[in-house]
Amino acid sequence: MSSYVVIARKWRPVLFEEMVAQAHVTRTLRNAVSSGRIAHAYLFSGPRGVGKTTAARILAKSLNCVNGPTSTPCNACESCKSITAGSSVDVLEIDGASNNGVENVRELTENVRYVPGLGKYRIYIIDEVHMLSTPAFNALLKTLEEPPPHAVFIFATTEAHKIPLTILSRCQRFDFKRIPCRDIQNHLKKIVDEEGIKFEDKALFTIAREADGSLRDAQSLLDQVVAFAGGAVTDAHVVEALGLMDRSIIHELMEAVAGRNGKECLNIIEKIYDFGYDLRKACSDLLEDVRDLTIIKVTGEPGLLDLPDSELERLKKNADSIGIERLHLLFSVISRGYEEVSRSAFPRYSFEMALLKAAHFDELRPVSELIARLEGLKGRLDGHVGVKTPDARAFAAKTGPLSADPTGAAKDPAAGQPQIADMRGAGVGAPLEGGTIVKDFVDYINKRSDSLARVLAAVEISINGDVIEIMPGKDSEGLLRVKKDFLESSGAEYFKRRMAVNIKKAPADSNDRKRNDDTLVKEAVRILGGRVIEDRRRTNV
C-alpha cells in the first residue's frame, strides 16, 4: 500500500490560524470558544473547497481537546489525534447526501442523549445537510431546538437556500467566501517551497486561477501538475497537463476585435477549435478580458485586478488604444454572442458571427443619425404638394432624448457673460463683433459635440437676450432641430440662465426644389434602403 498523502490532505489546516482568507469566521469561533459562548448548532455555508468541513473539525478539536475548551487545540492529545484521523467516538461525521432519510435522523436523535466518552461534547458534523429530506429535517427540529447540554451540531452546505427556515433559525450561520486568486497563489507558493518543488510564479497563478476560488481544487491541481512535470514546473507544463488554453490567445483575439480585423478573428477561432477548447469557455474568457480592460480604462489602476504583472502590462497597453464607449458596446455584443454560443447547435458559427459583429458593428449607422438626415430632407422638401414627412423630433421624444455627449456634462465655462453678437459663417476660432467672442459658446459646444460645432460654425447665429436665434442652411436645418433640446440645455449651462433656441426657417427656392426633386428621392431611397415602385408626382403643374 502506498504511503503517499495527497497535498490536499497533507496540508489541511489543523488550527484556525492556518485557514486561508476566512478570518471573519475563525475570529468569531476563536472568541466564542475562549469566552465559553458555545452555541448548540452552527451552519457553515459557502462554495466547495473553502474550508467548511476543516473549520468544523478544528472547532470539534477545540471543544474536546484535553486542554479545552480552547481556541488553540494541542493536536497531540488522544482526542485531537482521533478527530484528525476521523476515528473519534465523540465526533460523528455524517454525509447528508447518503444518509438523508428520516430513519437516519431518528437514529441520530436517539444516540444524542448519550454522554461523550473522552471529551466534553458529542459533536455531530453533517456535511451537505441540504440533501436531507423534508421528513428528516422535521425529525431533527425538536432535538435541534432543545439538545442535551453536551451536544453540538455543525452543519456544512454549499446550498444554504435549500435548508428550511425552521432549521436556519436555530443555528448560528457562518458564510465562507471564495478565496481570492492571489491568496491561493501565495498559499501554493508556501507549499511548493516547503516541499522543495521548483515552480514558476506564473504557473502557480494559472493553477490558482483555474481553481476558481477553491483552495482544495488548487491543491489537487498542483498534485496533478507535479506528477505530469516530474521536475521543475513551468506555465507550459500547467497548460498542457490541465488541457488549458494559453491566455495569450485570448489577448490576441481581443486585439483582433479591437483592431477591426475580422480575418484574424476567424484565424484565431480556427486555432481554438483545432485545439479542442470549449468555445463557450473561450467566449467567457473574452468577456472577462473586456471587463478587465474596462476596469483599467475607468480606474487607471491595473493593480486592482488580480492578475500577474505580465498580463497587466499587456492589458494596460491595449486599454490605451480603445475608448470606454467602444468597450461597453463590445461587452454588450459579446455577451449576446455568449448566450447564442451556449444554446446553439453550432457554437463555432455563433462565436464567429458574434466576433465579426463585434469587430465591425461601429460601421453601422445609428438610428439617431438616420433621423437627423431624414429631418434634413424634411426641411428641403417642405412646400411640395402632397408630400408629408414624419416629425423626427416627435419620434425622438418617444424613443428618448438624443444626447451629443453620452459621457455627461462638460466642465463649467469660463467666467464672463457673452453679449449680443452675430456669427455669420465664421470659423469656430474667429472673433466676432460686439466686444465679445461668440465663438466661446461654440467652443463650449465643441467640447461636447465637435460635429454639431462644425455645423454651427457654418450658419448665422445671434443672441438676443434669452434667445439664441439660428438661421440654418438648407442641409443643416434638420440636424439643428433634432439637437434643439441639447442646444437649450447647453445654453443654460453656459450662460447660467434659461435660454431658448429659435431655429428659423431655412430659405428655399422653388426652382431649386424642382431641380433637386430627383436627387432628394434618390437620397431618401439610399438612406432607407428602399426602392421606387411608382412615381405619382404631377408633371403638368
Query: Exposure of 312 by Cβ count < 10 A (0-12 exposed, 13-18 middle, 19+ buried)?
Result: middle
Domain count, the chain: 4
Residue among 100, 176, 89, 97 nearest 124 (CA): 89
**Residue where one domain finishes, among candidates 196, 220, 242:** 242
Q: Give the pLDDT confidence score for residue 381 in this predicted structure.
A: 60
What are the φ/ψ torsions at residue 461 (nearest 5 degrees)? -130, 135
Tell me, yes or no, whether 200 and 267 share the same domain.
no
Tell me, yes or no, whether 354 and 378 share the same domain.
no
3-class SS at 366?
coil
In a domain, 518, yes or no: no
In a domain, 348, yes or no: yes
Cα distances (angstroms) measured from residue 7 to each of 52, 78, 194, 215, 224: 18, 24, 11, 11, 10
Q: Give the pLDDT confidence score for residue 187 in this predicted structure.
A: 92
Long-range contacts of 23-29, Cβ-Cβ distance < 8 Å, separation of 24 or more: 24/177, 25/55, 25/174, 25/176, 26/55, 28/174, 29/55, 29/59, 29/62, 29/71, 29/174
Tell me, yes or no, whether 228 and 215 share the same domain.
yes
Cβ contact 260:359 at 8 Å: yes
Residue among 122, 129, 131, 104 nearest 44 (CA): 129
Q: Give the pLDDT confidence score for residue 409 in this predicted structure.
A: 39
Tell me, yes or no, whether 39 and 106 share the same domain.
yes
Q: Give the pLDDT confidence score for residue 397 in this predicted structure.
A: 45
Tell me, yes or no, whether 304 and 447 share the same domain.
no
In a domain, 521, yes or no: no
Report the b/e string of 146-172 with b at 16+ CB within 10 A: ebeebbbbbbbbbebeebeeebeebbb
Tell me, yes or no, whether 290 and 306 share the same domain.
yes
Tell me, yes or no, whether 386 and 455 share the same domain.
yes
DSSP string of 215-281, one letter each residue = HHHHHHHHHHHHHHHSSSB-HHHHHHHHT---HHHHHHHHHHHHTT-HHHHHHHHHHHHHHT--HHH
Tell me, yes or no, whether 209 and 337 share the same domain.
no
Q: What is the pTM of this model?
A: 0.61
Residue among 136, 71, 151 nearest 105 (CA): 136
In a domain, 447, yes or no: yes
The alpha carbon of 336 is separated from its chain's Cα centroid by a whole number of angstroms, namely 14
pLDDT averaged over consecutive 10-residue blocks of the chain (541 residues)? 79 90 91 90 91 92 88 88 86 86 86 84 90 88 86 91 90 91 89 88 86 89 87 83 81 87 89 84 88 84 69 79 83 89 88 87 59 67 46 44 39 39 36 48 80 81 81 78 83 83 72 54 66 58 41
Tally DSSP H helices, then E strands, for the chain.
24, 9
State which amino acid sits at residue 41.
A
DSSP string of 391-454, one letter each residue = -HHHHHHHH----S-TT---PPPPSS---S-EEES--TT---SSSS-THHHHHHHHHH-HHHHH
Contacts of 431 (CB under 8 A, 6+ apart): 437, 439
Q: Give the pLDDT confidence score for residue 175 in this predicted structure.
A: 92
Q: What is the CATH number of the domain that holds 308?
A: 1.20.272.10
Contacts of 95 (CB under 8 A, 6+ apart): 127, 128
In a domain, 399, yes or no: yes
Report the b/e string of 248-278 with b at 16+ CB within 10 A: ebbbbbbbbbbeeebebbeebbeebeeeebe
Residue span of the structural domain in which 288 resides: 248-363
Output the nine-digit C-alpha cell for 124. 455531530
Tell me, yes or no, whether 139 and 195 share the same domain.
no
Tell me, yes or no, whether 284 and 394 share the same domain.
no
Tell me, yes or no, whether 45 and 155 share the same domain.
yes
Residue the block writes with cell 402632397:
386
Q: Give the pLDDT confidence score for residue 43 in this predicted structure.
A: 93
The alpha carbon of 246 is separated from its chain's Cα centroid by a whole number of angstroms, namely 22
Q: Give the pLDDT confidence score for residue 448 in this predicted structure.
A: 78
Tell me, yes or no, whether 45 and 170 share the same domain.
yes
Q: What is the CATH number of the domain that holds 198?
A: 1.10.8.60
Distance CA 267, CA 255 (A): 13
Long-range contacts of 362-371, Cβ-Cβ distance < 8 Å, separation of 24 or more: 362/326, 362/329, 367/399, 368/396, 368/402, 368/482, 370/527, 370/528, 371/395, 371/396, 371/402, 371/482
